Amino acid sequence: MYSYEDRMEAVALYIKLGKRPKATIRQLGYPSKNALKGWYLEYEHHLDLRLGFAPRAPKFTQAQKEVAVEHYRTHGRCVSATMRALGYPGRATLTAWVREAFPEISKAVTGVLSR
């Protein structure tokens, strides 16, 4: 990732060169066109850039998570049925929530066990 100073330098040069991304990237050697445009939009909106990185907001609320885990528990512990009934989340997300809520459940055993 780029430091605050690197990003501010890139935005200042981008503005100085008439908002031409290729010229800015050619002169600095970094960043990508989309990163530069994102930095500029952030600078234009806030008149500054963030010092750090903002964490992404969770996609699902805690209440949605609890509803999904409860549905899983009360309807036969079937991931597919829970996903189908609620319409969310994806298999990986629901599996992670279930493993977090029920740590005693490790992995599902499918197929025939050899002796």
What is the domain partition of the chain in residue ranges?
A: 4-46, 62-101
Q: pTM of this prediction?
A: 0.52
pLDDT tens digit string along 12-35? 999 999 999 999 999 999 999 999
Nearest to 4 by CA among 39, 47, 45, 44: 39
For the four alpha carbons of 28, 31, 34 and 40, in that order, the dihedral sign comes to negative
- What is the arithmetic mean of pLDDT over 69-77? 94
Q: Do the Cβ atoms of 66 and 89 come closer than 8 Å?
A: no
Q: Do the Cβ atoms of 98 and 79 come closer than 8 Å?
A: yes
Q: Supply the DSSP string of 71-100, one letter for each residue.
A: HHHHTTS-HHHHHHHH----HHHHHHHHHH
